[in-house]
Amino acid sequence: MAEPLRLGLAGLGTVGAGVAALLRANGELLAERAGRPLVVSAVSARDRRRARGVDLAGLRWYDDALALAADPEVDVVVELIGGADGVALKLCRAALAAGKPVVTANKALLAMHGAELAALAEQHGVTIGFEAAVAGGIPIVQCLREGLAGNRLSRVYGILNGTCNYILSSMRESGRSFAAVLAEAQALGYAEADPSFDVDGVDTAHKLALLAALAFGCPPDCAAIQVEGIRHVSALDIAFASEMGYRIKLLGVARLTEYGLEQRVHPAMVRIGTPISQVEGVFNAVVAEGDQIGTMLFSGRGAGAGPTASAVAADLADLAAGRAGATFGRPVKRLRALPAAPMLRHRGAYYVRLMVVDRPGVLADVAACMRDHEVSIEALIQRARNPHEPVPIVLTTHEVSEAEMTEALAQIGALESVLEPPRMIRIESL
């Protein structure tokens, strides 16, 4: 068997320790599949003394991660530090400039600096593997880059953040509020102490930018993504969604439209019975739609030591076997920025919830606003009748433009009998 591929492992948190553990447990199997052994030659992490459940004896240890890029006995740098800038960025730049391929689980880094880093990699004849950056163990990066290479893709979407999916699934099952379920998720370790990266949709946006780059041949462009998180999703909306035949999921959606590439992250209603509606808890799923394949779905664990280490190992095996291709599936000079489709041009169906004074004529006023903007109502629920309390009116619309919908809601929100700003959730047609 050929010479081993020598790895420099930067970062020994959950994922880093998971990679070390995988190489120890399945190293022989991986070597057989990759055609060469993969050995950790050096590591870098902040605290040497922390127990990590993995034997690191005999490995060179650097306090400064950048030293891995310079170490002549490191062939590949595995960046598992995290963060869009700082050490992770410096290390990747240094490794690539030294002609060393990089394998990373860092979605933020690549979503923000992907085009620059891919160009640097190409310039030095190497590549960046980032299978672990999107949807954990699901090999969706390879699938989009290679498996579906013969397809003209029209839409790629998915449930890309396990924390949000866990929170939304738990809210539905228990009927509890976002705040209560978030607190529980934090206690269980499913959500960070500062959950904003997850629940505000930022993490999903990073992953979506990478999926879109692979699917549509454009540089990752986070700034073009319309991002909305799940903080405002209420138990009431989840209950109404169920009643109307929907689940609420935080989706990342990238879609080619006549106005350009639409990229958006937001809570979306998906019809119960569709495969994506059944992806619950911490699971992730990605759906790709192509002219040859039709619709394809991949689901699996989106996070955790094992799944993420599995994805890192796949990239390492590709490198070891000499199979690694261009970072984003084609030469950087062939990545073409696509015009961003304005969100107001989005067309789709909508769910709307209003809290109104329960008195005659309210519904007529609401219906008139909708009519004025050519919003056609598909279904409507107005059940509770209580003259002393605000009551909900819930409706779904037929397909309409976001511009018309926004104007209709502004007009409705200004009605005296409407007591709160209207709540709108987009319905994703699947």
Footprint of a copy of itself (CB under 8 A): 22, 25-26, 29-30, 32-35, 131, 136-139, 142-143, 145-152, 217, 273, 275, 278, 290-301, 306-307, 309-310, 312-314, 316-318, 321-323, 325-326, 329-331, 334
User: Is 350:424 a contact under the CB 8 Å cutoff?
Assistant: yes
Q: Are strands 60-62 and 76-79 parallel, antiparallel or unpaired?
A: unpaired
Q: Shortest Cβ distance from residue 397 to a copy of itself (Å)? A: 28
User: Is 349:396 a contact under the CB 8 Å cutoff?
Assistant: yes
Residue of 100, 107, 207, 249 marked catalytic: 207
Q: Give the helix ranges, DSSP H, for 373-415.
A: 402-413
Q: For residues 189 and 361, which CB has a smaller minimum distance to a copy of itself in the complex?
A: 189
Q: For residues 120 and 286, which CB has a smaller minimum distance to a copy of itself in the complex?
A: 286
Q: For residues 158 and 290, which CB has a smaller minimum distance to a copy of itself in the complex?
A: 290
Distance CA 149, CA 326 (A): 13
Q: For residues 87 and 282, which CB has a smaller minimum distance to a copy of itself in the complex?
A: 282
Q: Shortest Cβ distance from residue 149 to a copy of itself (Å)? A: 4
Q: Shortest Cβ distance from residue 359 to a copy of itself (Å)? A: 44
Q: What is the dihedral of CA 305, 307, 309, 310, to 10 degrees?
A: 160
Question: Active-site residue 207, yes or no?
Answer: yes
Give the count of alpha carbons within 13 A of 308, CB side only: 23
Q: Which residues contact 203 (CB under 8 A, 6 or more apart)?
A: 107, 108, 160, 161, 163, 197
Q: Which residues contact 373 (CB under 8 A, 6 or more apart)?
A: 400, 404, 405, 407, 408, 411
Q: How many CB atoms within 10 Å of residue 254?
A: 27
Q: Shortest Cβ distance from residue 392 to a copy of itself (Å)? A: 30
Q: Shortest Cβ distance from residue 306 to a copy of itself (Å)? A: 4
Please identify which residue in the block is written with the tokens 């997850």. 198
Amino acid found at 392: P
Q: For residues 22 and 209, which CB has a smaller minimum distance to a copy of itself in the complex?
A: 22
Amino acid found at 88: A
List the catalytic residues: 207
